[in-house]
Structure 1
Amino acid sequence: MGTFDLRAVLLSLPVLLLSLTAHEFGHAWVALRQGDDTAYRQGRVTMNPAAHLDWLGTIIFPVMAIGSGMPLLGWARPVPVDPRKFRNYVRGDILVSVAGVAMNALLAVSFAVLLFVLAASTRSMAAPPEALSTLFEMMVIGVVVNVGLILFNLLPIPPLDGSHVMYHLLPPHLRQQYQTLSLYGMIVLWVLVLTGMLRFLFPLILVPARLLMGPAMSIVNPGLLPGV
C-alpha cells in the first residue's frame, strides 16, 4: 500500500479550492447579470469558498486522490440557475455556462504570469529559498489544474457546462434527444472517472499548460525546480 503524500495535498488543495470557487462565482455573477437572481439570493455571488463548498467533492475526494497519487478531480456545489429569468434565454444560458471556464482561463493566465515574474526575479539567485521553490510549484499546479478544469467542463456530457453550449448548437430536431442524456449524464461521468477513460484529457491538458508556462520555464533558475 502506498504512502499518503501530505505535501502534495497541502500544495494542491488550496489551488483547487480557489479554482473551484472562481468557477462557481463566475456562473453566479453572470447569471445575475443576465437577470437571474437565484444564486444571488442564496449568497453564491461571492469568492468566499465556504459558499460553494461541497465536503465530498471539494475536500474529501480531492484529498484522497491527491494523497494517493490518483488524478486530481474535484467539484463544488453547483450554482442554482433559473433560465426562465434570463432576459434572453439562449444568450443567457450560453454565457452562464461558459462563465465558469472563463474564470478558470483567467486564473490559468494569472498563474502563468506570476510564474514568469517569480522566474525572472530569482533568475540570478545562487540558491533561491525553499519557500520560493514551493511557491513556484504551486503556480505550476495552478496552471495545470485550471487548464484541466476548462477541458473537463467543456465536455458535452450533461450536466457539464459544455452540454449547455452543445444543446444550443444542435439543430432543433436533435435537441430533445440530446436533452434525454441528462438522465444518464452523471452515470456516464462516473464510468469515465472510475474506468480511467478520462486519461485521454491529460495530453490535451499539457499542450496549453506548457504553452502558458513556456516563457517562465525558458528562464527559470534550476534551483526553483522541485528536486533540484
Structure 2
Amino acid sequence: MSFADIRRSDREERRISPVFWVLLAILGTSGWATWSGYGSAGFGVFLFVVAGWMVSLCLHEYAHARTALHGGDITIGAKGYLTLNPFKYANGLTSFVLPVVFVLLGGIGLPGGAVFIERHRIQGRLKHSLISAAGPLVNLAFAIVLLVPVGQGWLDDAPGTTQVGSTTVHVLPAALAFLGLLQVSASLLNLLPVPGLDGYGIIEPWLSPQTRRAVQPFAPYGMLAVFVILWQSQVNVWFFDQVFKIMELFGVGGFYQYFGQYLFHFWQH
C-alpha cells in the first residue's frame, strides 16, 4: 500500500458521516423554527430536543473513541468510530434507542455505551480512566453551551412564543433548558460508579483484578438497573433536586425547564 493510499484511507476513516450531517440539519432547522415561531411549537421543541440529544450521544461516543485513539488503540478509525455515524457503534440499542426511549418516557438523560475499545492496546491506568471520563465531559460541555444563554437572558426576546394556559413562553430558551437538563442528568448518571457506566470505567483500572472479574458479569445490566431505580418516586425526586441545583448555578430556574418538557411532550396535550 502506497503512502497516498494510507493517507486516503485515513481521511475516509475520519470523514464525518452524512447521518451526522442530517442530525445537525434537523437540529439547526428545528432550532430556527423554535426561535422564529414557525410551525407547531411543541413539535419544533420535540425535534430540536431529540436531534440535539442524538448529536450529543454521537459526540459522547466520539470523545471516547478519540481519546482511545490517542491512548494507543489504533483500530478505532477502521471501526468507523471517528465518523460520528451512530450506525457504526457497537450496540445501537443501548447507545441510541434506549436513551431516546428513556427521554420519551421520563425525561431522563440516561446515556448508553457503545464503542468497543481494545483496552489491551492501551498502557497506563490513567489513560483508561481518561477514556471513560471523556464522554461525560462532553455532556457537561454541551450543558454549559445550552444553559449559559438561557441563564444570562440572551434569548428572552426571541420572537418565537407560544401560549401555555395564561403564560406566554419563549420557545427556544424552553427547548434549550430542557435539552440542558438532559445533558446535566446524563453527566451525573454516567459518573456513577455503576458497572456498565463511565463512572465505573473511571475507577475500574484502579481496582484489583479479582474485583474486576467479580463485577464484570453485571456490566450489561447497569444502565437498566439505574433506570429502574430512578423510576422510584423518592429516588427520582432526590436526583432531580440535584439536577435543578446545578442548573440554578447557571441561572436557569424551573420556569423554562418545566415548559420545555411540557412542550416536548406535545402529544399529551
Query: Same fold per TM (> 0.5)?
Result: yes
Which residue pairs with 2:172 in the alignment? 135
| Counterpart AA for 2:239 | L
- Alignment partner of 1:45 out of 77, 82, 94: 82
Residue 106 of structure 2 aligns to a residue in which SS? coil
Find the aligned partners of 2:90 and 2:58 in 1 and give their Cα distance: 8
Identity percentage over the alignment? Answer: 21
Which residue pairs with 2:135 in the alignment? 100
- For residue 16 of structure 1, report the CA deviation from its aligned partner: 1.4
Which residue pairs with 1:186 in the alignment? 220
Is the 2:95–2:114 Cα contact (8 Å) retained in structure 1?
no
Is the 1:155–1:163 Cα contact (8 Å) retained in structure 2?
yes
Q: Structure 2: any 5+ residue segments left out of the alignment?
A: 1-41, 163-168, 263-269
Find the aligned partners of 2:95 and 2:202 in 1 and give their Cα distance: 25
Which residue pairs with 2:120 in the alignment? 84
- Alignment partner of 1:176 out of 195, 207, 210: 210
Find the aligned partners of 2:68 and 2:193 in 1 and give their Cα distance: 20
Find the aligned partners of 2:118 and 2:68 in 1 and give their Cα distance: 9
Compute the RMSD of aligned alpha carbons: 3.4
| Counterpart AA for 1:201 | F
What is the total number of aligned residue pairs between the two structures? Answer: 208
| Counterpart AA for 1:100 | G
Which residue pairs with 1:13 in the alignment? 50
- For residue 85 of structure 1, report the CA deviation from its aligned partner: 1.3
Find the aligned partners of 1:163 and 1:51 in 2 and give their Cα distance: 24
Residue 50 of structure 2 aligns to a residue in which SS? helix
Change (3 A) 1:84 1:61: closer
| Counterpart AA for 1:92 | K
| Counterpart AA for 1:193 | F
Find the aligned partners of 1:55 and 1:81 in 2 and give their Cα distance: 16
| Counterpart AA for 2:202 | V
Q: Structure 1: any 5+ residue segments left out of the alignment?
A: none
Change (3 A) 1:121 1:164: closer
Return the TM-score normalized by structure 1: 0.74
Q: Does residue 1:163 correspond to 2:200, yes or no?
A: yes
Is the 2:150–2:177 Cα contact (8 Å) retained in structure 1?
yes
Is the 1:151–1:201 Cα contact (8 Å) retained in structure 2?
no
| Counterpart AA for 1:187 | Y
Change (3 A) 1:13 1:57: farther
Change (3 A) 1:75 1:57: farther
Q: Does residue 1:22 correspond to 2:59, yes or no?
A: yes
| Counterpart AA for 2:58 | T
Which residue pairs with 2:186 in the alignment? 149
